């Protein structure tokens, strides 16, 4: 089980703070594709990603038991 944390506009768009999905191992890139296909997440390509509170790249591995955070870009003014 992988826990997905959502922040800012993602949390607002989907009305939840987190999602759990049943996967054993995948890459960040593959996880993004799974979320886009199954949960209709349109804007994950521009998000920063962290695995267990450490920033990650698309080629990094996510394993069962990990927590993955998707942090969308934030604009200020």
30: domain CATH number? 3.10.20.30
77 lies in some domain: no
* Cβ atoms 52, 22 nearer than 8 A: no
Q: Which pLDDT value is given to residue 69?
A: 97
pLDDT in tens, 24-36: 999 999 999 998 8
Per-residue pLDDT band for 76 (boundaries 50, 70, 90) equals low
pLDDT in tens, 14-57: 888 999 999 999 999 999 999 888 887 777 888 999 999 999 99
User: How many CA atoms, within 13 angstroms, populate the side-chain half-sphere of residue 15?
Assistant: 0
28 lies in some domain: yes
Tally of domains within the chain: 1
- pTM of the complete model beyond 0.75: yes
Question: Domain span at residue 64?
Answer: 2-71
Q: Which pLDDT value is given to residue 23?
A: 93
């Amino acid at each position: 089980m992988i826990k997905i944390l959502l922040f800012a506009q993602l949390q607002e768009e989907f009305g939840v703070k987190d999602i759990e999905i049943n996967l054993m191992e995948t890459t960040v890139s593959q996880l993004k594709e799974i979320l886009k296909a199954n949960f209709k997440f349109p804007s994950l390509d521009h998000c920063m990603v962290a695995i267990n509170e450490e920033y990650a790249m698309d080629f990094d591995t996510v394993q069962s038991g990990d927590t993955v955070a998707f942090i969308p870009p934030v604009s200020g003014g």
